[in-house]
Structure 1
Amino acid sequence: MLTVSEDLVLREAIMNLLASRTAEAGGFLTRAELSSFPVGSETRRLIDTSRGIWNPRDLNATLSIVSSPDGPYDDRDVDGGLFRYDYRAGSTAGDNTKLRRALELQLPVILLRKFATGSYVPIFPVYVVDDDLAKRQFVVAVDEALRFIGRPDELSEVERRYAERVTRHRLHQSMFRGMVLHAYNVKCAVCHLKHGDLLDAAHITADSKETGLAVVSNGLSLCKIHHAAYDRNLMGISPDYQVAINRKLLDEVDGPMLKHGLQEMHGARIALPHDTKARPDPERLALRFNTFLSV
């Protein structure tokens, strides 16, 4: 078994590589990719074959935990701004022992949020910050900023609100991007660019609004140029899925990016997910398109 310092170095290396690979892939990875992940000259498993807690033999503590929400998000898992993860069924020992060691040694862990068969959004580093024996749950901070703010039952109202906001943002936005890009097969709906690290999950109804839910039907997979144009109402998408470019941009003469990236998209039909339930909500598109037209 590695020393604790060696263990930490390895985890950091894995997470740095995981960040790069996840960005390239569009915010999510498959079970196959997680089961055979290249780290330097070796290949390591980042997920257990069948269980939710992965405890590699050479590591001092759990490396990853899997969460499978019933729906796109399950805020019942969030209590006081911290994520709650159930013990593995059975005794309090077994697989739970190494997850408890992650708490004792303050070693970072990878949270894998499952959203479709064989598809996961990695959220990391997360830290086990409490062991609630009475509820048979571990309490997990999903953001570095929340590691030291205290136990859930000891937080002030201000701390609780802050923690809940940070946690939901971290969980929801990561899941939103992964699910939207997965639905669009990691491709820009407008120009069909397929580089995951150049793609965003754009909200149709802004997430700052009460109805701006982080659900796939409120999302569009857009490259960064088209996302920026959409957010600034330089580009609109009609309820019948047609692209419209702001008249000033259509009349402007600039360079090849403007011509090929925006002007030539005017009137084109966006690519849609194969799953009809994942397609953009026409009512949301209509409201947003009216804003575009008014500008």
Structure 2
Amino acid sequence: MRWLAARTNDGADSIRSEALREFRFRGEPFALMDMQRGIRKPAVLDAALSFRTVYRPDGAERPYDDGVGLADGLIRYKYRGEDPQHPENAGLRAAMARRLPLIWFFGVGPGVYLPTFPVFVVKEERHELQFVVDAVTHGDIDLASGLERNLKRYITVETRRRLHQPIFRATVIRAYGTRCAVCALGHTRLLDAAHIVPDRDERGVAEVRNGLALCKIHHAALDAHILGVRPDLVVEIRQDLLEEVDGPMLRHGLQDRHRQKLMVLPARRDERPDPGLLEIAYDAFRASA
């Protein structure tokens, strides 16, 4: 996990599957993720080490229906096959019994994964052929007990936030080639995944077509309605900012981008911004002027 943290900005950035092959344990190559199966249970260990959820484009189905429970916000991870005693399922069960930390590799592109760690298997739902995985680490809190309503709601919201935001970010940053859509800045630590329609809006889904990779300046400008993006992918800057006289950041970073096309777009057309969502956001930008 320390090795992963050093290579993924403490889990904020994704990693390619070929980069995972660089990991060494006691000087020897050691796979952190199973490239063929969902659950990685090394022969030399008596419990699982990691599990993965394969990438799917928006609207496509995964071979296993992994997901987040609506009631408690926790991850549901499907068995390998239907046999509870399959060695890989037994490996996850052993990790649950011993409360061992695991790594969850979530696919955010072909051969690209966002590692979430540590996560813990906290329960097994045999009738549904799945395990329940906690990505927030509640320690010894029993989610089945009588938690107060506000505390349970907080835990659920925090779980979803920790799961969805990094996955959304990694997917969007990967789609835009790790560059700002407005200015093409390519430093990953200075980039954010901006929602076109905010996630507090029911239309603000955490999908790549509702996202723009933006540097922190342009993300802040978008959120403040200083910068807008038209449905035809042209940038506009609010009129009062165009009339303001200030330093080079205002002139080159904002004013010079007025009525210019986005500099970077995803290579895949099905990952480019949704025109309908851009229109909603652009209307909000114009209304704030």
TM-score for the superposition, normalised by structure 1: 0.83
SS of corresponding position for 1:202: strand
Counterpart Cα distance in 1 of 2:202 and 2:176: 25
Conserved 8 A contact 1:149-1:159? no
Alignment counterpart, residue 255 of structure 1, candidates 238, 247, 250:
247
Alignment counterpart, residue 101 of structure 2, candidates 99, 105, 108:
108
Residues 71-108 of structure 1, C-alpha deviations (whole Å, 9 max, x = no match): 65968542532212122223514122332232233221
The answer for the alignment partner of 1:33 in structure 2 is 19
Aligned partner letter, 2:228: G
Aligned partner letter, 1:53: I
Counterpart Cα distance in 1 of 2:240 and 2:217: 17
Q: Confirm or deny that 1:283 pairs with 2:276.
A: yes
The answer for the alignment partner of 1:174 in structure 2 is 166
* Pairwise CA distance, 1:259: 2.2
Q: Sort the Cα spacing of 1:154 and 1:98 in 2 relative to 1 into closer, same or farther, 3 A.
A: farther
Alignment counterpart, residue 243 of structure 1, candidates 227, 235, 253:
235
The answer for the alignment partner of 2:5 in structure 1 is 16
Counterpart Cα distance in 2 of 1:275 and 1:85: 29
Residues 168-227 of structure 1, C-alpha deviations (whole Å, 9 max, x = no match): 222221221122112211111011011122111101111011111111111111011110
Q: Sort the Cα spacing of 1:242 and 1:188 in 2 relative to 1 into closer, same or farther, 3 A.
A: same
1:215-226, aligned counterparts within 5 Å? 215-226=207-218
SS of corresponding position for 1:267: coil
Alignment counterpart, residue 33 of structure 2, candidates 23, 36, 47:
47
Deviates more, 1:282-291 or 1:217-226: 282-291
Conserved 8 A contact 2:103-2:117? yes
The answer for the alignment partner of 2:62 in structure 1 is none
Q: Sort the Cα spacing of 1:101 and 1:243 in 2 relative to 1 into closer, same or farther, 3 A.
A: same
Counterpart Cα distance in 1 of 2:92 and 2:184: 42
Residues 3-55 of structure 1, C-alpha deviations (whole Å, 9 max, x = no match): xxxxxxxx4x23432442754xxx32222122333689775422113111112
Q: Confirm or deny that 1:189 pairs with 2:181.
A: yes
Alignment counterpart, residue 274 of structure 1, candidates 263, 267, 270:
267
Q: Sort the Cα spacing of 1:254 and 1:285 in 2 relative to 1 into closer, same or farther, 3 A.
A: same
Conserved 8 A contact 1:61-1:98? yes
Q: Sort the Cα spacing of 1:236 and 1:56 in 2 relative to 1 into closer, same or farther, 3 A.
A: same
Deviates more, 1:131-140 or 1:260-269: 131-140
Counterpart Cα distance in 1 of 2:285 and 2:30: 48
* Pairwise CA distance, 1:263: 1.9
Counterpart Cα distance in 2 of 1:225 and 1:44: 40
SS of corresponding position for 2:35: coil
Q: Confirm or deny that 1:207 pairs with 2:196.
A: no
Q: Confirm or deny that 1:67 pairs with 2:53.
A: yes
Q: Sort the Cα spacing of 1:133 and 1:114 in 2 relative to 1 into closer, same or farther, 3 A.
A: same
More helix by share: 1
* Pairwise CA distance, 1:149: 3.0
Conserved 8 A contact 1:128-1:141? yes
Alignment counterpart, residue 87 of structure 2, candidates 94, 104, 109:
94
The answer for the alignment partner of 1:293 in structure 2 is 286
Q: Confirm or deny that 1:264 pairs with 2:256.
A: yes
Conserved 8 A contact 1:36-1:46? no
Task: Count matched residues.
Answer: 280
Conserved 8 A contact 1:127-1:147? no
Deviates more, 1:133-142 or 1:261-270: 133-142
For the aligned residue pairs, the C-alpha RMSD in angstroms reads: 2.8
Q: Sort the Cα spacing of 1:39 and 1:233 in 2 relative to 1 into closer, same or farther, 3 A.
A: farther
